């Protein structure tokens, strides 16, 4: 509850329509009558009108003032700014907007109408609901982020703004025991700037301020019951980077188009690379080819596990692995004006308990107790150092490093191309359903 503004404060926040696009509430979801949300928002409307009427009225007119019949409570169509209204209240009856449904092509065309496949599809399954719930939170948080993130802001403030919005919209502040496991951040927010392509999150005390000429990858993971939506976009304030962003957006869309049942991941990588590398960008009179970053990949996603065993390359490869019915993939591509290859560099913020952690006896007591905190709060979900800070953990670095050297916790260092280069990323999560592929995180923005 600490991060939640008190009710009074919440009602003072300005109110905006929910993010549009795939997330537009339909007539039988968010626009349906529901008396239990934002009653005070409605009332304050009435109060404002009443106050205006009273101020303008004098003498006899004031005496005869008749009370308007109480309006029926309006629907909870409004998200607050910053976003703090539960997605489950904006979309009652456990019905969340679908992502973009794309029909299969060629030998899989029959699936969309197949009786058997429709049966398998189980449209009302819990897991689809959880994914759509998480995806709607993702769209609303990023809509706010895209409008509000500006040069001059500290990275740490940007991170706290996005992270508290995610936690508020799915309803778990994550401070009570096991809360983070129900819903919240699916992995640490990525705020990776310029030649840093991925896995940067400001640790406590970070002083970095976003600059006008920066290119920032914003990678947000939202989970509901372990169903992780992994989706990222790139922000730039100088239009000189437009071709870089366009290249990566087109490459990711090409990857999504190529994905499907029996699609071979190596071939998808080839198509992504073709699209990506058809672009170039001019900077200060120099023309740079846009390269696919060859050692970054998309990946499948399992419950409570951000990467499964399948990778989706973003350059041509001989990997014959096929996508299958029921798989969930993060299709992500990265373009660069640099070498097109990344290496580990800089202070680590991202960590996760290893699924295959050895059961060795820990000799360091600080490592032992930290491990218990990690298991209870994050399970196998990745987390950032600041997520330990907010749970009240202190002076844990020795214990943490010990867990990493014992192979119990995996560290994910920032991934950087060469200094002075610029990198961009776009990413969506897609469900390979029996009848269609659903681009669960699609919005009207990307
Ligand atoms: C690892 C740790 C995290 C997964 C991709 C990714 C952000 O590069 C197989 C393919 C969060 C995510 C991940 F804390 N990684 N997507 N979004 N990062 S990855 C990977 O480690 S493993 C790609
Ligand atoms: Mn991601
Ligand atoms: Mn990913």
CATH code of the domain covering residue 361: 1.10.10.10
The predicted-structure confidence for 73-112, as pLDDT tens digits, reads as follows 555 579 999 999 999 999 999 999 999 999 999 999 999 9
Domain membership of residue 333 (yes or no) is: yes
pLDDT of residue 366: 98
The predicted-structure confidence for 243-271, as pLDDT tens digits, reads as follows 999 999 999 999 999 999 999 999 999 99
pLDDT at 412 over 70: yes
Q: What is the CATH number of the domain that holds 111?
A: 3.90.230.10
DSSP 122-155: -TT-HHHHHHHHHHHHHHHHHHHHHHH--TTSBH
Domain membership of residue 268 (yes or no) is: yes
Q: Are residues 320 and 293 in the same domain?
A: yes
pLDDT of residue 92: 94
Cα(151)–Cα(142) distance, rounded to whole angstroms?
17
Cα(114)–Cα(110) distance, rounded to whole angstroms?
6
C-alpha distances in angstroms, 138 versus 142, 169, 187, 349, 376? Answer: 6, 9, 13, 22, 25
Indicate the SS3 state at residue 446.
coil
Q: What angle in degrees, to the nearest 10, is found between the helix axes of 242-258 and 265-276? A: 150
Domain membership of residue 331 (yes or no) is: yes
The predicted-structure confidence for 155-165, as pLDDT tens digits, reads as follows 999 999 999 99
Domain membership of residue 326 (yes or no) is: yes
Q: Are residues 299 and 386 in the same domain?
A: no
* 187 close to ligand 1 (CB < 6 Angstrom): yes
Q: Are residues 234 and 377 in the same domain?
A: no
Domain membership of residue 116 (yes or no) is: yes
pLDDT of residue 68: 62
Within 10 A of 353 (CB to CB), how many other CB atoms are there? Answer: 18
pLDDT of residue 135: 99
Nearest-atom number in ligand 1 for the CA of 190 is: 7
pLDDT of residue 122: 73
**Confidence bin at 360 (pLDDT 50/70/90):** confident
pTM, two decimals, is 0.87
Instruction: Please give the distance, rounded to the nearest whole angstrom, from the Cα atom of residue 18 to the centre of ligand 2.
Output: 23
Residues 6+ apart with CB under 8 A from 155: 191, 202, 206, 208, 209, 210
Annotated binding site: 199, 219, 230, 299, 307, 332, 427
CB 3 within 8 A of CB 167: yes
Nearest-atom number in ligand 1 for the CA of 312 is: 10
**Confidence bin at 175 (pLDDT 50/70/90):** confident
DSSP 47-110: HHHHHHHHHH--HHHHHTPPPPPPPPPPP---EEES--S-HHHHS-TT-----EEEE--GGGGG
pLDDT at 228 over 80: yes
Q: How many domains does the chain have?
A: 2
Q: Are residues 263 and 392 in the same domain?
A: no
Q: Are residues 269 and 370 in the same domain?
A: no
* More confident of the two residues 38 and 281: 281
Q: Are residues 354 and 429 in the same domain?
A: no
pLDDT of residue 172: 80
**Confidence bin at 69 (pLDDT 50/70/90):** low
Q: Which domain holds residue 389?
A: 349-412
The most confident of 27-36, 116-125, 247-256, by mean pLDDT: 247-256
Q: Are residues 259 and 358 in the same domain?
A: no
* 306 close to ligand 1 (CB < 6 Angstrom): yes
Domain membership of residue 52 (yes or no) is: no
Q: Are residues 423 and 408 in the same domain?
A: no
| Lowest-pLDDT range of 49-53, 261-265, 286-290, 327-331 | 49-53
* 327 close to ligand 1 (CB < 6 Angstrom): no
Q: Are residues 90 and 182 in the same domain?
A: yes
Q: Are residues 311 and 359 in the same domain?
A: no
Q: Are residues 192 and 321 in the same domain?
A: yes
Q: Are residues 124 and 189 in the same domain?
A: yes
Domain membership of residue 10 (yes or no) is: no
Domain membership of residue 45 (yes or no) is: no
């Amino acid at each position: 509850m600490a991060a939640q503004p008190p009710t009074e404060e919440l009602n003072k926040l300005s109110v905006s329509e929910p993010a549009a696009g795939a997330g537009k509430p339909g007539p039988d979801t968010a626009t349906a009558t529901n008396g239990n949300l934002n009653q005070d928002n409605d009332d304050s409307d009435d109060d404002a009108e009443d106050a205006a009427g009273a101020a303008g009225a004098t003498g006899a007119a004031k005496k005869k003032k008749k009370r308007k019949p109480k309006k029926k409570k309006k629907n909870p169509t409004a998200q607050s700014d910053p976003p703090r209204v539960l997605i489950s209240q904006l979309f009652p009856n456990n019905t969340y907007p679908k992502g973009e449904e794309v029909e299969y092509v060629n030998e899989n065309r029959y699936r969309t109408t197949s009786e058997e496949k429709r049966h398998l599809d189980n449209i009302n399954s819990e897991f689809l609901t959880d994914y759509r719930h998480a995806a709607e939170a993702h769209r609303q948080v990023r809509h706010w982020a895209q409008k509000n993130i500006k040069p001059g802001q500290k990275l740490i403030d940007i991170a706290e703004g996005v992270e508290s919005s995610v936690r508020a919209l799915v309803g778990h502040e994550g401070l009570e025991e096991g809360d983070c496991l129900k819903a919240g951040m699916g992995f640490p927010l990525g705020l990776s700037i310029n030649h840093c392509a991925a896995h940067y999150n400001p640790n406590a005390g970070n002083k970095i301020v976003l600059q006008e000429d920066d290119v920032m990858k914003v990678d947000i993971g939202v989970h509901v019951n372990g169903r992780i939506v992994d989706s990222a976009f790139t922000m730039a304030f100088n239009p000189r980077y437009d071709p870089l962003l366009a290249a990566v957006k087109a490459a990711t869309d090409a990857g999504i188009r190529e994905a499907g049942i029996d699609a071979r991941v190596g071939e998808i990588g080839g198509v992504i690379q073709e699209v990506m590398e058809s672009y170039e960008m001019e900077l200060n009179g120099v023309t740079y080819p846009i390269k696919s970053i060859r050692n970054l990949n998309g990946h499948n996603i399992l419950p409570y596990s951000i990467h499964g065993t399948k990778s989706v390359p973003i350059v041509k490869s001989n990997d014959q692995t096929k996508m299958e019915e029921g798989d969930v993939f993060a299709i992500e591509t990265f373009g660069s004006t640099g070498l097109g290859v990344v290496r580990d560099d800089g202070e680590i913020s991202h960590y996760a308990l290893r699924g295959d952690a050895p059961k060795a006896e820990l000799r360091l007591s600080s490592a032992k107790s930290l491990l218990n905190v990690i298991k209870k709060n994050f399970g196998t979900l990745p987390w950032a150092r600041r997520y330990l800070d907010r749970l009240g953990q202190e002076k844990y670095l020795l214990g943490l490093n010990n867990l990493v050297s014992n192979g119990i916790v995996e560290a994910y260092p920032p991934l950087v191309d060469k200094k002075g280069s610029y990198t961009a990323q776009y990413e969506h999560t897609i469900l390979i359903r029996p009848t269609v592929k659903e681009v669960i995180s699609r919005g009207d923005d990307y």
